Amino acid sequence: MSDIHFLLSGLYVYPVKSCAGVALDEALLVETGLEFDRAWMVVDPDGRFLTQRELPRMALIRPELRHQDMVLRAPGMLALHVAYDTVEEPVTVQVWNDTVRAYDMGRLASQWFSDFLGRPVRLVRFDPEQKRLSSTRWTGGLEAENQFSDGYPLLVLSQSSLDGLNERLAARGAAPVGIERFRPNLVIAGLDAPLDPHAEDFLDELWIDTDQGRVHLKLVKPCPRCPIPNVDPATGEPGTEPLDTLATYRADARLDGALTFGMNAIILDGIEHLLRRGATGSATLKF
């Protein structure tokens, strides 16, 4: 069977884990995924990671990536500028079951996040010398590096998956949701094959065209969904959708009945290539 063709219709990074994402026209592919993706993280005083699961207001913190720094904005707060080339003392932090090295971002960042979130927290940056790897159970033994992501360098989602979900939400009388709730890195559209709306479930490897050559990715694991998609990114308020609707059709036997939406991917080739929104690509099917 010939390759299936698609367009790269969306590129997103989430510089601070569990805060709002940034839609980009282009993004550099690095060893850990897209540059700046989950490079920073909010931790409690014991160094354990915090997310919208405990603090849904994190959805209201919006990063902007500029040439020299990242600017963070949140309702009622002055902007916080975080320099790319400045860190403070080294620390050890925990993300899921991994204990990793990081750098504290200092008192001002800590106070800003603590004031907005209403509890003592600190902002840390991943130590680039640290090697945090995806589970080789799913990567087939290949080493795939991550920063503070939940466990894989990239998350791929098809536009048809979101469209299918929104059709089901409408049938239940619920409001549509945006793709930002699912926090993908790459959104693919225009798949030229009569696949299920969740086309990414059936894809094996992706090739995406860039000026430097083709990026080569492999889809390795369905993405199980926690309650974060139920947090309204406009208000920071948790609800019950879209997970209630996903529960009617997305229980995944591959993950013991977890609700899955999107596929985690690892990088096979193309480090230092510049991905652009609107790029063409092709994929092979799983057999």
Percentage of the chain with pLDDT > 70? 98
Give tens-digit pLDDT for 4-30. Answer: 999 999 999 999 999 999 999 999 999
Rounded mean pLDDT of 36-42? 98
Confidence category of residue 195, pLDDT binned at 50, 70, 90? low
Largest CA distance in the chain: 57
- pLDDT value at residue 9: 98
3/236: higher pLDDT: 236
pLDDT surpasses 60 at 217: yes
Q: How does pLDDT run across 175-186, given as a tens digit for each residue?
A: 999 999 999 999
- On whether the CB atoms of residues 149 and 221 are closer than 8 A, the answer is no
pLDDT at 191: 82
pLDDT tens digits along 69-108: 999 999 999 999 999 999 999 999 999 999 999 999 999 9
CB neighbours (10 Å) of residue 198? 21
Percent of all residues in the chain with a pLDDT value above 90, rounded to a whole number: 93
Q: Is the peptide bond before 224 cis (omega within 30 degrees of 0)?
A: no
Q: What does the DSSP 8-state code read for residue 16? A: B
Structure tokens at 201: 């479930």
Q: State yes or no: pLDDT of 196 exceeds 90.
A: no
The pLDDT assigned to 170 comes to 98
Tokens of 138: 């799913």
pLDDT-based confidence at 192, cuts 50/70/90? Answer: low
Q: What gap in Å lies between CA 271 and CA 133, rounded to an integer?
A: 16
Beta strand pairing call for 154-158 and 186-189? parallel
Averaged pLDDT of the chain: 95
Q: What is the pLDDT of residues 156-172, one digit of tens each?
A: 999 999 999 999 999 99
Whether the CB-CB separation of 139 and 220 falls below 8 Å is answered with yes
pLDDT at 3: 83
pLDDT band at 1 (very low <50, low <70, confident <90, very high): very low
Res 198: pLDDT: 83
Please count the other Cβ atoms lying within 10 Å of the Cβ belonging to residue 213.
Answer: 11
Task: Read off the pLDDT of residues 122-132 as tens digits, 9 standing for 90 and up.
Answer: 999 999 999 99
**What single-letter amino acid sits at 94?**
Q
* Residue environment code for 262-282, b if the CB has 16+ CB neighbours within 10 A, otherwise e: bbbbbbeebeebebbbebebb
Residue 213 has pLDDT above 50, yes or no: yes
Residue 155: what pLDDT?
98
Per-position b or e across 71-109, b if 16+ CB within 10 A of its CB: ebebeeeeebebeeeebeeebebbbeeeebbbbbbeeeb
Q: Is the pLDDT of residue 194 over 70?
A: no
